[in-house]
Amino acid sequence: MTMTQKILARAAGLPRVEAGQLIEAKLDLVLGNDITAPVAIREFAKTGVARVFDKDKVALVPDHFTPNKDIKAAEQCKILRSFACAQNITNFFDTGEVGVEHALLPERGLVGPGDVVIGADSHTCTYGALGAFSTGVGSTDMAAGMALGTAWFKVPSAMRFVLKNRFTDPWVSGKDVILHIIGLIGVDGALYQSMEYAGDGLNALTVDDRLCIANMAIEAGAKNGIFPVDQATRDFLKEVGRAQYTEFAADADASYTRTIEVDLATLRSTVAFPHLPSNTRLARDSGDVKIDQVVIGSCTNGRLSDMRVAARLLKGRHVAKGVRCIVIPATQKIYLQAMKEGLLEIFINAGAAVSTPTCGPCLGGHMGVLAKGERAMATTNRNFVGRMGHPESEVYLSNPAVAAATAITGRITDANELV
């Protein structure tokens, strides 16, 4: 069995499972945010179930339109707050504590190896970085998960990605691995499947790199992305105080629909052009594309390592005239650490705006919405039509180094051009 299949088999109480089999698996965590949870809470009420299956295994993270952007957003958050209070939910994170959900939950030790996690947010697949099976679902699935503590799954087949060697370009990171892969296989290249990572290249990937890579599995249509557990994972879990977990590894004879090798040494900073994450080019081959706004943040690239990369480039430099640069540390912990390290001072001196944690601009919610005809370079995960604002605006996706370099020059720029 693949790693995913082994986790699902245990959660379903079965000795083995096969691709295509429908199973009912026990859940270790059910997640929702301020967009999806209000619908889930409404549907939960319809089930007639009085209490959630486990008050410690439901996470409510109002991160999208928060701090409340308008009256309607405030009403949505109020639904979460009231439900959390009534159900005595342990893991409800209000403004002041909240961070972007997929950065926050790993940091809180709420997700770990062997866990089965569903979240009413498509980027729930992020936790595969830590050896969990985690996948995005809709609000009704979340409601049923809260009611029953189980969810139905079709056991996925898997594609295997063998990562070799290590990065040789100092500005290349996990984002380039996943953009390269999506560029290769397309936005439905892994439809309904797992993306399982293997190879000696894993040793060179930080946990932040892996979180970024697993985060965008959905952008290839995948059910989940998953990494083997190694010392880097264990060190991370120790740091965040997650003591109990079960490690799974794929069987040596596991079957894969396809194996793709990725040589990390040859990867260069990659940009996804509008309007699909698969529309990739190398940053250095992007031509003279003028940018109006840069966003550095999100569940994909709003972690401390991303802040550090951006600061390294922005230190002693200035955002180009006519460019708005918005930096959003993904959690309060990251924000505080960035402050202690002097990164926020660097951003502000460079002429960037620094925001409290929020998903905000990634989905055109608030804190950096685009006008007609404007272009953004963002470290986020989607560049669909209208994603960040006006339907005639454009979003380009990149790693934080390209984003910071682009903020400085005002056009798509490989960081190597500046350093």
Partner 1 sequence: MTAQGTVFRYGDNVDTDVIIPARYLTTSDPAELAAHCMEDIDQTFVKRVKKGDMIVADANFGCGSSREHAPIAIQAAGISCVIAKSFARIFYRNAINIGLPILECPEAAAAIQAGHTVSVDFDSGVITDKTTGKTFTAVAFPPFMKELIACGGLVEYVKAKRAGK
By C-alpha distance, which of 356, 379, 360 is closest to 368? 360
Q: In this chain, which of 13, 51, 82, 191 binds partner 1, going by CB under 8 A?
A: 191
> Residue 260, interface with partner 1 (CB under 8 A)?
no
* Cα separation, 40 vs 323, whole angstroms: 39
Q: In this chain, which of 15, 48, 96, 241 binds partner 1, going by CB under 8 A?
A: 48
* Cα separation, 225 vs 195, whole angstroms: 4
By C-alpha distance, which of 151, 153, 412, 170 is closest to 273? 412
Contact region with partner 1 (CB under 8 A), list: 138-146, 164-172, 315-323, 345-353:
138-146
* Residue type at position 220: A
Q: In this chain, which of 10, 57, 102, 223 binds partner 1, going by CB under 8 A?
A: 223
> Residue 38, interface with partner 1 (CB under 8 A)?
yes
Q: In this chain, which of 53, 54, 78, 138 binds partner 1, going by CB under 8 A?
A: 138
We find the least distance from the C-beta atom of residue 348 to partner 1, in angstroms, to be 28
Contact region with partner 1 (CB under 8 A), list: 89-97, 133-141, 239-247, 264-272:
133-141
> Residue 66, interface with partner 1 (CB under 8 A)?
no
Burial class (CB in 10 A: 0-12, 13-18, 19+), 372: exposed
We find the least distance from the C-beta atom of residue 194 to partner 1, in angstroms, to be 12
**SS3 at position 407:** helix
Please identify, using beta-carbon distances, which residue of 351 and 386 lies nearer to partner 1. 386
Beta strand ranges found along 330-385 (DSSP E): 353-354, 375-378
Provide the token pair at 60.
């409510």
* Cα separation, 169 vs 162, whole angstroms: 19
Q: 170-189: which residues touch partner 1 (CB under 8 A)?
A: 187-188
We find the least distance from the C-beta atom of residue 20 to partner 1, in angstroms, to be 9
Please identify, using beta-carbon distances, which residue of 48 and 287 lies nearer to partner 1. 48
We find the least distance from the C-beta atom of residue 44 to partner 1, in angstroms, to be 9
* Residue type at position 43: E
We find the least distance from the C-beta atom of residue 362 to partner 1, in angstroms, to be 9
Longest dimension (CA), the chain: 62
Q: In this chain, which of 13, 16, 97, 154 binds partner 1, going by CB under 8 A?
A: 154
> Residue 192, interface with partner 1 (CB under 8 A)?
yes
* Cα separation, 28 vs 11, whole angstroms: 9
Provide the token pair at 20.
């295509």
Q: In this chain, which of 137, 313, 403, 404 binds partner 1, going by CB under 8 A?
A: 137
Q: Per-residue string for binding with partner 1, 110-129, x by CB under 8 A?
A: ---------xxxx-x-----
Contact region with partner 1 (CB under 8 A), list: 81-89, 140-148, 163-171, 248-256:
140-148
Instruction: Please answer whether residues 116 and 149 qualify as being in contact, where contact means their C-beta atoms are separated by less than 8 angstroms.
Output: no
Strands 194-198 and 224-226: parallel
Please identify, using beta-carbon distances, which residue of 73 and 338 lies nearer to partner 1. 73
How many residues form the binding site for partner 1 (CB under 8 A)? 54
> Residue 269, interface with partner 1 (CB under 8 A)?
no
What is the DSSP code string of 237-302? HHHTT----------TT---SEEEEEEGGG---EEEPTT-TT-EEEGGGS-S-B-SEEEE-HHHH-
* Cα separation, 379 vs 301, whole angstroms: 6
Q: 69-88: which residues touch partner 1 (CB under 8 A)?
A: 69-70, 72-73, 75-76
Q: Walk across the sheet containing 158-164 and list its strands.
A: 224-226, 194-198, 158-164, 258-263
Residues shown for the chain: 419
* Cα separation, 224 vs 194, whole angstroms: 5
Q: In this chain, which of 294, 382, 402, 413 binds partner 1, going by CB under 8 A?
A: 382
> Residue 19, interface with partner 1 (CB under 8 A)?
no
> Residue 139, interface with partner 1 (CB under 8 A)?
yes
Q: What counts of helices (H) and strands (E) characterise the chain?
A: 13, 18
Q: In this chain, which of 26, 90, 95, 140 binds partner 1, going by CB under 8 A?
A: 140
Point out which residues bind partner 1 (CB under 8 A): 22, 35-36, 38-39, 42-43, 46-49, 64-65, 69-70, 72-73, 75-76, 119-122, 124, 136-141, 143-144, 147-148, 152, 154, 187-188, 191-192, 218, 221, 223, 276, 363-365, 369, 382, 384-387, 391
